[in-house]
A and B are shown apart, each in its own frame.
Chain A
Amino acid sequence: MELGLVPFKKCIFEKIKNLMNNLLVVKNIVKNYGDYTALNDVSISVPKGSIFGLLGPNGAGKTSLIRIINQITMPDSGLVTLDGEPLNQSHILQIGYLPEERGLYKSMKVGEQALYLAQLKGMSKKEAKKQLDYWFEKFDISDWWNKKVQELSKGMAQKVQFIVTVMHKPKLLIFDEPFSGFDPINANLIKDEILQLRDEGATVIFSTHRMESVEELCEHIALIDKSNKILDGKLSDIKRDFKSNTYKVALKTVEKEKVKRQISEKFEVSPTQMNVLDDELTLKIKIKNTETSNDLLNFLTSKATVSHFAEVIPNANEIFIQAVKKNTQNG
């Protein structure tokens, strides 16, 4: 009896902790466009102060979900809460959204336009001016204030767009492909700004197809495919789940064929490429769940000199592809 109650208590405790720690909770959202289901019972929880990667193939339903969070469209059923409250009009000020399809009024002046967009968010004109001055100075673009947007390059306009997204200090920032249109230097600048905003307490939802930036930035991810959430959690946990007990090794030996045959009698072996100095035997070896890395290492050292030994950790890209493939086969 005692033993059974402990996990139960722990479970309740976890739930409460979750509620407190999640800025945004999306629960059982369903959205249909006519006969087409864009989101099918999708739930995600975005922890406070984290960067949350919202991933998925084109047309999976990411944008539909983001639009629901932004109250651009309404879900057919389900609930979205921000800071424990169901979404309402007052939350508009607390969300900053940089859509993938973005732009500015071409014939409007930069400063005027930024002020207008800030006021639409609900800031006072004075407050908006103050914030804009700060950001324009920070990005060293104060002399653009009176320029028309059509005079700016695409990258320049993107900077203005970024400022417009973050200037009202929202609790929740949603970036959809924030780095598109930026050169590497400016992309880095924006990345640093996003990290700084997170450090200052903002929560970030980050949607992209560039997996290396997911790897770099996101602590949590959710993967949506064909209107369903197929994966979510901490990125490190997911990686652990996806690891295949595979190791990449390089062995110094003169009898390559013989050693390879000996190993393949005991383990699952496939050839691989590695950066090695000498003409070594490079292999990818998969062990059984019951075996440990030491079992493998002991076996290998008995056959040859081990120069490289590393566990293969799946990267976000591989996880993405694997998960989507699996979902396609199942569905």
Chain B
Amino acid sequence: MDKLKLIIKREFVAKVRNKTFIVMTFLSPLLMVGMIALVAILTKSSLEKKHTIAYVDASNMFAINDFKNDDKTIEYKNISATDKETAKRLTQEGEYYGLLYIPNDTKIDELAKNIQFFSEDSPNMVVLESIERTLKDKLQTLKRKELGIDVKLLENSKVNVSIKLLNYSGERTSKLINGLKMAFGIGAGYLLMMFIIIYGNMVMRSVIEEKTSRIIEVIISSVKPFQLMLGKVIGTASAGLLQFFIWSIVLSIIMVIASAIFGVEMSTNVPLHSTPEQMELVKNAMGSEIEILVTEIWKLPLGLMFFMFFFYFLGGYLLYSSIYAAIGAAVDNETDTQQFMMPVILPLMLGVYIGFSSVIGDPHGTIATVFSMIPLTSPIVMLMRIPFGVPWWQLVVSMSLLIVTFVGVIWLAAKIYRVGILMYGKKPSYKELYKWLKY
């Protein structure tokens, strides 16, 4: 036991002291936030770019006001005084994004089909949609007038339906809670997958390092290979958890700073066209919705969720990282690991895809249920299902299967590890690995 502690400590210290580890720990949250910020800034600047569009209204149906809208990115300029050809030449030479040509046609349906837009490059979809909306609004109004429909009456006849969700005991439930459950499931599943891939690889590299530096035989003349493997897996996991912990702290600090800077701007970004009453309504609705949401969150099986997260996280990580350790032991260098990575990555990917597609669509469907039982995918899939409430018997089956597989896989991995660490030279095949199990 003392030896295991020593190994865990050494592995932990070796990982944490590593320069790349330190750099990654503090740099990657900054990089992540920086990337998001960059994308946001770029999108914003491209959205805010003003497009000046000239139009020629040969039909005389449009007033200047019809082209005034709340879309700040498009400015319309009326050059109806010129004919089509001159306008085309003018807009091509001038600083215009394009030319909108509305032909002379009294029939609205015909007109709607024949409006043209000239531009150098194919136009931006957003701009085009905005133009179409503007035109549609006007033409619809005209059409309604033509058909003798009272626009005011039409506006008043509109009804908004918003279903209130209740459970059978009559309490109101929130629509948001489902989103929250999904967020938890996806977040947890994804986190586990990332953790397994990053730190499983780290375990594997560390095993290979011991093989290539040839210290392995010195070590295992003092400790059992199984102890070494376990110490490595646990030590690396501790370093990983520390890294995750630091990441979450750094990220939340950055988020606090970011919201302090951008928060003000966000709150002023309320849609302009909404009237004060509407805003009040939205606010009230949001308020009560949030209240319900909070009570619902407290009604979630938080303790169970936390325990299950802990269980599946640990079980999944230990299961996979012992496979990673065995792979590391079987080969001499990292390039040789490729052929063995498939069986590790495949169930992980499968777990995440099934999680994304079927769990979210139907948390208790057949596919989701089956894959939350199969041990290699269960950590991810079950983690995603848990917030939606999973029957006890399923949890028990899934957990016991995971434990049994975990013990079995660790036993197999330890056998491969024990033989593999002392094997140098050629890359083993699956057949040879199978033979090793019998040594």
Binding site for B on A (CB under 8 A): 33-34, 67, 70-72, 92, 95, 97, 99, 101-108, 116-117, 119-122, 161, 164
Contacts and interface: CB of A to CB of B under 8 A. Distances in A.
Interface string B111-122: 000000000000
A34 B221 contact: no
Given A33-B439, A105-B14, A119 B218 contact: no
Given A33-B439, A70-B221, 7 more contacts: A72-B217, A97-B217, A104-B218, A105-B210, A116-B6, A116-B10, A120-B223
A300 B217 CA distance: 59
B214 A103 contact: yes
Contacts of A33: 439
Contacts of A117: 218-219, 222
Nearest to B435: A34
Interface in B399-439: 422, 424, 435, 438-439
A104 B219 CA distance: 10
A120 B219 contact: yes
B1 to A, nearest CB: 12
Interchain residue pairs A-B with the least CB separation, the first 6: A103-B214, A99-B217, A120-B222, A103-B213, A97-B221, A70-B221
B147 interface: no
Contacts of B220: 72
Contacts of A104: 213, 215, 218
Interface in B275-330: none
Contact of A106 (B213, B216, B217): B213
A255 to B, nearest CB: 62
12 contacts: A92-B222, A101-B214, A101-B217, A103-B213, A105-B210, A105-B215, A107-B14, A120-B3, A120-B6, A121-B222, A122-B3, A122-B222
A72 B226 CA distance: 11
A67 B422 CA distance: 10
Interface in B1-24: 3, 6-7, 10, 14, 18
Contacts of A108: 14
A99 B439 contact: no
Given A34-B438, A72-B422, A120-B223, A102 B6 contact: no
B271 to A, nearest CB: 57
A102 B221 contact: no
B224 to A, nearest CB: 9
B215 A34 contact: no
Contacts of B439: 33-34
Contact of B218 (A92, A95, A97, A107): A97
Contacts of B218: 97, 99, 102-104, 117, 161, 164
A97 B259 CA distance: 61
Contacts of B435: 34
A72 B221 contact: yes
A104 B221 CA distance: 14
B221 A95 contact: yes
A4 to B, nearest CB: 48
Contacts of A95: 221
A99 B210 CA distance: 14
Nearest to B6: A119
Contacts of B424: 101
B421 to A, nearest CB: 10
B219 to A, nearest CB: 7
A163 to B, nearest CB: 12
Contacts of A106: 209, 213
Contacts of B217: 72, 97, 99, 101-102
A34 B10 CA distance: 35
A327 to B, nearest CB: 26
Contacts of A97: 217-218, 221
A33 B213 CA distance: 25
A103 B215 contact: yes
A97 B10 CA distance: 21
A151 to B, nearest CB: 14
A99 B439 CA distance: 21
Nearest to B214: A103
Contacts of B222: 92, 117, 120-122
A120 B14 CA distance: 16
A107 B210 CA distance: 11
Nearest to A174: B221
B175 to A, nearest CB: 54
A97 B18 CA distance: 29
A147 B117 CA distance: 74
Contacts of B18: 107
A108 B6 CA distance: 15
Contacts of B223: 120
B216 to A, nearest CB: 8
Nearest to B220: A72
A30 B7 CA distance: 32
A33 B439 CA distance: 6
A149 to B, nearest CB: 8
B10 A92 contact: no
A303 to B, nearest CB: 60
Contacts of B10: 116
A318 B118 CA distance: 99
A195 to B, nearest CB: 23
Contact of B214 (A34, A70, A102): A102
Contacts of A161: 218
B6 A99 contact: no
A33 B218 CA distance: 22
A164 B217 CA distance: 13
Given A34-B439, A105-B14, A120-B6, A92 B213 contact: no
Interface in B188-229: 209-210, 213-223
A70 to B, nearest CB: 4
Contacts of B221: 70-72, 92, 95, 97, 99
A71 B210 CA distance: 19
B388 to A, nearest CB: 46
